[in-house]
Amino acid sequence: MNLGNGDGDATTSELLRAQAHIWNHTFSFINSMCLKCAIELGIPDLIHHHGQPMTLLELVSALHIQPTKAHCIHRLMRILVHSGFFELRDLEEADRQTRYVLTCASRLLVKHNPSSVALFALITLEAFSMDQFQHLSEWLKDDEDFHPSTFEMAYGVTAWEFARRNPEVNRLFNKAMASDSSLIAKVVVDTCGGVFEGLSSVVDVGGGTGTMGKAITEAFLYMECTVLDQPHVVDGLVGSERLKFVGGDMFVEIPPADAIFLKWILHDWSDEKCIDILKRSKEAVSGRGKVGKVIVIDMVVGNQTGDHRFTETQLFFDLEVMVTFNGKERDEKEWEMLFVDAGFSGYKIVSHLGLRSLIEIYP
C-alpha cells in the first residue's frame, strides 16, 4: 500500500518507521534526564559500593524509595540498561532475581573516580541546560546579531560571565574540567608522550586548577609547566618548583615557552578569536631563540569515519558550543585554514583520543 502523492510516495511500513524516528528524537531528551536522575540518586555509586551485583529490592532499599514506587525504579533502570549504562546479571541462585552491574560507562559516573564524568554531565544538564536551545530559532533569525550566543539570549550574559558571577557554578565547572583532564592526561602520557620530547617548558593555556599541568610535570621530570587562566580561576592555587599558576588573558599575552598546550580551548571560540589565540601562541613559542610548537587537543569532526555514534556525539558538541559560546567543532580542513590564517607552516594529527585528537602545529 502506498500513501502520499508524487515522488514522496511511501509504503505504510516506511511511514510508520518515519513516525517512530520522529518520536524517538522528540523524546530523546528522556535519555539525558534519566542519566541526570541516576547521577543525582547516586545509583552508580550505590552499585559500586555494594561490591556485587545488586537486586532491584536492594537498590530500592539503598535509595530509600517508597515501596509503592519500586516499580518506577525498575522502569528507570530498564531504560538505563537499554542505553548501556547498566547491565543485567542473572546469578545461579535459588531466588533467581535479576541483578544490576556497572558498565564501563557507569564506572565513569562513580563520583570518587578521579576521571568521573558525572559532574560534567550534571553541570551541562543544569548550569548549561537546554534553556538556550529553546531560543535557537529566535537567535537564528536575529538580524541585529545582538546576542552572540543563545546562552546570552537566555541568561542575559555570556557563559563565561555567568560562571564568574556564580562562584559555585565556577567551582563545579573547574572540577568537571579537572576530571576530564585526569582522564585525558593519562591517555596523553601513556600513548602520546613523544610529543613532549625535546621540550623543557610548556604553558597550559586555560589549564584551570592544573590537573593536566601536574600530570605533565610528574611524568616528565625535566619539564616546567605554567598554567595560564583567568585570575578568578587561579587565585589561591599553590604550585611547586616546576608548576606555576599565572592569572592573565590569552587574548593579550601568553608567556613564552617551548610549547603552548591548548586542551579543549579553541572549540569555545569563533574562527577570528581562534586565530588571535593561535597568533599569541605562535609568538610565545618563537621568541626564545628556538622555535617550539603548539599542541592542541580538540575534536576533528569526522575523524572516526566508521563509527556513526562518535560522529553524532561530535555533532552534538558542535551545537552545544555554538549555542553556549558561539564556538565551533571543526573538521580537518577547517583546522588547516585556521592554522594557515594564523601564520603556521604545518601541522600533524598525532593521535586520535576518542572523540578528540592531538594536533601538533609548527610555526
Which residues are annotated as catalytic? 267
Among 118, 116, 29, 38, CA closest to 77: 38
Among 195, 185, 201, 197, CA closest to 243: 201
Asked whether the beta carbons of 318 and 325 are under 8 A apart, the reply is no
> Could you tell me where the beta strands, DSSP code E, fall in 121-270?
201-205, 224-229, 243-247, 259-263
CB atoms within 10 A of CB 183: 18
Strands lying side by side in the sheet with 224-229: 243-247, 224-229, 201-205, 259-263, 293-299, 356-362, 346-353
How does DSSP classify residue 296?
E
Among 352, 349, 323, 350, CA closest to 336: 349
β 54-55/98-102 pair status: antiparallel
> Which sign, positive or negative, has the C-alpha torsion 289, 344, 342, 189?
negative
